[in-house]
A and B are shown apart, each in its own frame.
Chain A
Amino acid sequence: MTAVVSTPDALNFELPEELKLLKRSLREFVEKELWPLTDEVESSDEIPASAIGKMREMGLFGLPFAEEYGGAGIGELGYCVALEEFGRASAAFSNLLGAHCSIGAMALHLDGTKDLKDRYMPQLCSGEKLACFALSEPGAGSDAANISTTARRDGDIYMLAGVKHFITSGDIADFATVFAVTDPALGARGGITAFWVDLNGPGVKRGPKDRKMGLYGSHTCELIFEEAKVPADHVIGKVGSGFITAMKTLDMGRLSLAAGCVGSSQFMLEKSIVYAKERIQFGKPIGKQQAVQFMLADMATEIYAARNMVYHGAWKADRGERFSLEAAMAKRYCSDMAIQVVDRALQIHGGSGFMKETGIERVYRDSRILAIYEGTNEIQRMIIAEELLR
């Protein structure tokens, strides 16, 4: 993505004024509009339509996209600051945004033709239509290059056939970026193509929503393509360059996912500090016990490191520099950090932390997927090592 936020050349850790305002406004929005819905989202496994409406009004679905399409044009740093604030609410909300902005519509935004973007980006930026990202298959998770969905050219159209699974927002999205094999002989390097697919068209079926450990309110399901017709001008990027598009898109997604980890961890730390000051055991607040102090100290230290990793990666992205290494490192570190931080938060809260009321057990369950989706942490390590040994 091109640089849209002016970043000072000198080393400067202060957020620009508009991003401070963005952070404050989103904090207020999340606290007033989304937080009160958390229990309802958790028990009903649905985000109320009114909340999605409010997110639309705020312009959230166009967060990282160019202003010419109706996006906010806040750049990767701005997007990460926003996702950090969203990380404080239920993960269902950040997943809804992430599936759409970070990956679903991002592939189109990054590599789509001007014609395709002119046609679809405005309705995606307004949130009138939602997008998802369909790469994973039952036989191709971490081994993403091994996908078996095929796209066979037939005149002006491609016939899409295959099954994608664990597709976040697959049940509600209007469009999907779908990766399919156009040349089996070439494999990942030249044989995979990205398509912009209307999920409401003929030949597309959606499976039932998956039953998950957490992330209630955000659904995943199968997308089944049975000779679904896709116009040839709906290829994203070039025929055969799909795997590159997928990797580029995931770089962006990884950074913002890491930003969400920072936000949720920060919130867990704040809750734990309050509890450590209030909870009296052995005649004094548990925060006076070194065992608790050390847990808080480690949480804060790791969050500090994580936040700086995210901001630095985003800063590189906004300068138009390569940031695959930083994105992989941030995703790996921040997700592991978030899982550890919520574990400590639960430990500090003791038995209360195990109860639904404190809201920590939800974050505990929701966090486990962080080390798995958008590329497992093992895959991140492979990317990091590959960059090191190039």
Chain B
Amino acid sequence: MKIVVTVKQVPDTNAEKALDPKTKRLNRSSIENVLNPFDEYAIEEGLRLRESVGGDTTVTILTMAPASGTEVVRKALGMGADSAALISDESVGGSDTMATSYLLAQALRHIGFDLVLSGTQSTDAINSVVPAAVAERLGIPCLTFAKKVTLSDGRIEIQRETESGFWRVAARLPAMVSVTKGINEPRYPTLKGIMGAKKKEIKTLSLAEIGAEPARIGDAGSKTQVDSFATVGARAKGTVITVSDPKEGARQVLDFLIAKKAI
């Protein structure tokens, strides 16, 4: 069985971010890039499924990133993924969800898959659209927000997290599944894993190889355009109440909330 996990390289969540006024894109040059934290859950789930299914099951990492994106892919390989494929071409820059889902679908057709896993969202764009869009392009079922995944006899069943509980959703493979944060506890890349990752293959996929049409990628293939942007004013500093008596503190908080008509 072939499991493919789609991952994204995102700017370090703790870093201060800025938009480039000219390109209206995030200025990524000065920011350290990390593996999208949500994708770590998908990788972990892929590895656990590989362990439970056994046999010749493999976990492949697929990402779209500049050549420098290999570092985040190495992390996934260090965690235990078998191999990785990287769509890397200057012309993919600026791809929105339409173009991105097209590129990922093309690459998935090229490398083959039984199950595609992804995180529910990225920490930079937070659109949560790509998994569904990829599935739609591939014509496969899409099961989103999985907080539990079970596989048996070519059938996948998930518990889909909702505000009030969960739904049980099932489909036949091949399928696309997005997993929620908290579905598992992602493992750390072990020391041996990190050193082993050095020897694992990261295949670079060219646009020609995956049969991607230039008009459908990058700026040209993107339907969304950023017209302008503005900075949201900094939030005023909060009030800190320091008291030795907790009761006195609670009373002050209460007074504050009443004064603000919050309660």
Residues of chain A at the chain B interface (Cβ within 8 Å): 17-18, 20-22, 24-25, 28-29, 57-60, 62-63, 67, 70, 72-74, 82
Contact = CB atoms under 8 A, between A and B. Distances in A.
A28 B188 contact: yes
A21 B75 contact: yes
Nearest to A67: B195
A20 B71 contact: yes
B32 to A, nearest CB: 9
A60 B71 contact: no
Contacts of B70: 17
A21 B189 contact: yes
Contacts of B192: 59, 62, 67, 70, 72
Give the top 6 A-B pairs by smallest Cβ distance, nearest first: A72-B191, A59-B191, A59-B190, A18-B198, A25-B189, A59-B192
Contacts of B198: 17-18
A196 B193 CA distance: 30
Interface of B: 34, 70-71, 74-75, 78, 188-195, 197-198
Contacts of B34: 24
Interface centre among A20, A21, A58, A73 (most CB of B within 10 A): A21
Given A28-B188, A57-B190, A72 B195 contact: yes
B197 A18 contact: yes
Contact of B74 (A18, A57, A73): A18
Contacts of B74: 17-18, 21
A26 to B, nearest CB: 9
Nearest to B35: A24
Contact of B194 (A57, A62, A70, A72): A72
Query: What secondary structure prevails in chain A residues at the interface with B?
Result: helix
8 contacts: A18-B74, A21-B71, A24-B34, A25-B78, A59-B193, A72-B191, A72-B192, A74-B195
Given A20-B71, A62-B191, A67-B192, 15 more contacts: A17-B71, A17-B74, A17-B198, A18-B194, A18-B197, A21-B71, A21-B78, A28-B188, A58-B191, A59-B191, A60-B191, A63-B191, A72-B192, A74-B195, A82-B191
A29 B197 contact: no
B195 A25 contact: no
A20 B190 CA distance: 14
A65 to B, nearest CB: 10
Contacts of B75: 21, 24-25
Contacts of A63: 191
Contacts of A21: 71, 74-75, 78, 189, 194, 197
Nearest to B189: A25
Contacts of A25: 75, 78, 188-189, 194
A59 B78 CA distance: 13
A20 B71 CA distance: 8
Contacts of B71: 17, 20-21
Given A18-B74, A21-B71, A21-B197, A74 B191 contact: yes
Contacts of B191: 22, 58-60, 62-63, 72, 74, 82
A17 B198 CA distance: 8
Nearest to A58: B190
Given A17-B71, A18-B194, A18-B197, A29 B188 contact: yes
A25 B191 CA distance: 9
Contacts of A28: 188
Among B75, B188, B197: residue with most chain A CB under 10 A: B188
